[in-house]
Amino acid sequence: MTAVHLDNVSKSFGGVQVIKGISLSIQKGEFVSLLGPSGCGKTTLLRMIAGLEEANGGSIHIGGKDSTRLPPERRDIAMVFQSYALLPHLNVLENVMFPLRMRRLGNRAEQRERAEAALKLVQLSHLAQRRPRQLSGGQQQRVAVARAVVSSPQVLLLDEPLSNLDAKLRETMQEELIQLHRQTGLTTVFVTHDQEEALSLSDRVILLNAGRIEQEGTPAELYAAPRTRFAASFMGSTNLLEVALEPTAGGTIARLPGGQSLRLDGAAGQGNATVMFRQEDARLTPAPTAEVAATVVTRVFLGSRTRYVLDFGGHMIRCLPPADQLFAVGERVALDIPPDRIRVLSE
């Protein structure tokens, strides 16, 4: 069942089109991330689902109901803001009760009970009587989440809720969000510019670029098989090479300007193209005379692994080989990339 459906939605601000006809469906209970660089339109899209921005074109259905022209208070949604937007004149419990009060859900005692249950869900029952300003950033964040889930909305909207937290706390909150989603089963739309966050939290990632959907899929799909140059570079840890493709009997050869070449599986195309491979997919072996060889330029020790920057026929590439492989700076190594791990990108 579809919880949120956008059909050819567009939005302009002062003549500049920031959302260029986006259509997407979000299934009930799904956790979807809207991922993209700043200015890609991800926050605008979220605010349009919330009703805080009105669509210039297209339609928005929430829970099967046409909500395109409905004001936010008449949409069955809840939103967690980047700044948390807790009401400073109310205590924590009153903040969590607020949506129930405004939506007139149940009597006072029932509202209190539901708010207490929501606070328990985020493990803040003991702070119910505190004011928001007496709480730490992480605690405020949890109050905001409790306040958003308390009314069991059709869709929970999260606008970069973790960006104001420090790295360690962010990791903890990510885990808690996953758990919360499992417990509540709420349809969730999560906006972020952090691809790791999107990959680790979502069932599905929608990558946005300049007001359009660049690519969508499961985190594994997006990570392993980015279709475009933008998707490949945004998903990170990728080597991009400009090559000339030559079909041969056993597959395809990708020639680099420096004379080096790589083997690809199947008929991958012909002519100039961009290919990518992930830094962890390259295997290095000590082989000074190998045909496909590179020279170690820099070595960065990362704890569990070591990252190498290699000079590969004039191209700088990054490799993250298995931990047992150690090479010295200046050493010549053979570069072995499984042919099925090299992908040809469309521009």
Partner 1 sequence: MVEAVPSPIRAAAGLYLAAILLFVLGPLIVVCGVSFTAGDYVTFPPQGLSLRWYEAILSSSSYTGAALISLKLAVAVMVGATIIGASAAIVLHRGRLPATSAISALFLAPLVLPTIIFALGLLTFWSATIGQTSLWALWVGHTVVAVPYVIRTTLAVLSTSDKYLEEAARTMGAGPWRAIRHVVVPQAMPGIAAGAFFAFNISFDEAILSLFLRSPEITTLPIQIYTQLEFSPDPSIAAVSTLMIALTILLIFVIDRVLGIQTVAG
Residues that bind partner 1 (CB under 8 A): 50-52, 71-73, 77-79, 81-83, 85, 87-89, 98-99, 102-103, 147, 151, 157
Q: Which CB sits closer to partner 1, 147 or 181?
A: 147
Residues 159, 285: Cα–Cα separation, whole Å: 45
Residue 67 in 3-state DSSP? Answer: coil
The least CB distance from residue 174 to partner 1, in Å, is 23
The least CB distance from residue 70 to partner 1, in Å, is 11
The least CB distance from residue 62 to partner 1, in Å, is 12
The least CB distance from residue 265 to partner 1, in Å, is 49
Q: Per-residue b/e over 223-245, b at no fewer than 16 CB within 10 Å? A: beebbbebbbebbebbbebebeb
Question: Phi and psi (nearest 5°) for 107?
Answer: -85, 175
Task: Name residue 161's amino acid.
Answer: P
* Token output for 19: 């959302």
Residue 48 in 3-state DSSP? Answer: helix
Residue 334 in 3-state DSSP? Answer: strand
The least CB distance from residue 272 to partner 1, in Å, is 48
Q: Which CB sits closer to partner 1, 140 or 238?
A: 140
The least CB distance from residue 89 to partner 1, in Å, is 4
Q: Which CB sits closer to partner 1, 33 or 95?
A: 95
Q: Which CB sits closer to partner 1, 85 or 344?
A: 85
Q: To 5 degrees, how large is the angle CA 206–CA 269–CA 231? A: 20
Q: Which CB sits closer to partner 1, 47 or 278?
A: 47
Q: Which CB sits closer to partner 1, 74 or 182?
A: 74
Pinpoint the alpha helices (H) of the chain. Answer: 42-50, 92-102, 108-121, 137-149, 167-184, 195-201, 219-224, 229-235
Measure CA 187 to chain center.
16
Q: Which CB sits closer to partner 1, 11 or 204?
A: 11
Rg (the chain; Cα; Å): 25
The least CB distance from residue 324 to partner 1, in Å, is 51
Reference 313, options 227, 233, 248, 243; nearest CA is 243
